[in-house]
Amino acid sequence: MFSYVSVESRVPSDHPIRRMRILVDMILKDLDPLFRERYAEDGRPSIPPERLLRAAFLQVLYSVRSARLLMEQLDYNLLFRWFVGLNIDDPVWDHSTFTANRDRLFDVEVAQRFFAHTVLIAEARDLVSDQHFTVDGSLLEAWASHKSFQRKASSDDPGESGGMSGSDERESDGSDFRGEKRSNATHESKTDPDARLFRKGKGKEAKLSFMCNLLMENRNGLIVGVDTRLATGTAEREGALALLDARSPRRGASVGADKLYDCADFVEQLKSRGLKPHIARNQKGRKSAVDGRTAASKSYALSQKIRKRIEQGFGWAKTIGSLRKLKLRGLAAVSGWVAWNIATLNLVRLGGMAGWWNPSPT
């Protein structure tokens, strides 16, 4: 049987994904000079960068958990084929080919530039505030198990290298670490050396993780900065300052945050940048670094009310997106994938503000 109906005609004219593709194509067009530098001109034909990134965008948008399932969807889902740019008769790539080309093309630079363009679109529509911001951080579980967290080969502790016997041999391969004191100073993951053993707070379990920091503007709750780094006790505050320095808010802008950021050094760093520290006060057993006059202002109360919206960004990225448990290893790859997820979130939020997701009247 022959079909003379195109894939284009199979997608409803009022489907919101059409407007989403317009935005994605506009961003990819601006990134074309970067793609041209990376696309191989000789050898076996590679996957066109635009198609590869559209497919990666769909993977986040539609919560496809793996490249194998994404290729399966591309094989029979006409909407996916249309969005990526494949005709109904075009062959679908093998999942290993897709991941190999993605790893070659997709990195922090591409993801961050794509993310920056989503912020530029919001700024062009006057949807971004330059006066009020919120910062927060969240742990991302690494693609590494506790059994992979083993003693470093360079460690000087006795009994860590060859010559162990009995129970020590069982502990050395990570299969039994009961009673063994483990820390990031003496141990590292053999599958992802960049992952760090970290726990969010007292009573919480320790996991091999990365730290993701976000900077949100308070007008519409859009994310205007994303930073991923090694999980340490100071990673949230260091990431917040790095995001603020990259954004360069005007003097007098407010920065909201939770109680973890209520320390004298961080508050002084904000003040030295001309920013108002609208940080939740932590007065358990010590004096808060945020003075009472600031805490009594109406703008402070409003910042404390709005700052909780940043949790929606983390929630979306970990439930709809693919950040609940990372599928990539290494800080560079993880940073790029986090920025890609947050960029997708921004485009979804922009679509909500434009009313794209509302059902059309019948």
Q: What is 127-143+208-333's CATH topology?
A: Nucleotidyltransferase; domain 5 (3.30.420)
3-state secondary structure of 122: helix
pLDDT beyond 60 at 157:
no
275, 290 in Cβ contact below 8 A? no
* CA pair distance 254, 2, nearest whole angstrom: 62
Burial of 119 (0-12, 13-18, 19+ CB in 10 A): buried
pLDDT beyond 90 at 46:
no
Write out the H or E segment, with its range, that includes residue 223.
Answer: strand 223-230
Task: List phi, psi (to 5°) of 346.
Answer: -60, -40
Q: Given pLDDT bands bounded at 50, 70 and 90, which one contains residue 274?
A: very high
pLDDT of residue 33: 87
The DSSP result for 295-361, as a single string, is: HTSHHHHHHHHHGGGHHHHHHHHHHTSS-SB----SHHHHHHHHHHHHHHHHHHHHHHHTTTTSPPP
Lowest mean pLDDT, pick from 44-53, 73-82, 160-169, 201-210: 160-169
Q: In this structure, what DSSP letter does residue 227 have?
A: E
Q: What is the mean pLDDT of residues 103-124?
A: 91
Residues 6 or more apart whose Cβ sits within 8 Å of residue 324:
141, 318
pLDDT of residue 45: 64
Q: Given pLDDT bands bounded at 50, 70 and 90, which one contains residue 286?
A: confident
Statement: the pTM of the whole predicted model exceeds 0.75? yes
Residue whose C-alpha is closest to residue 119's, from 255, 273, 246 = 246
Domain extent listing, the chain: 7-106, 127-143+208-333, 145-154+167-188
Q: Given pLDDT bands bounded at 50, 70 and 90, which one contains residue 179?
A: low
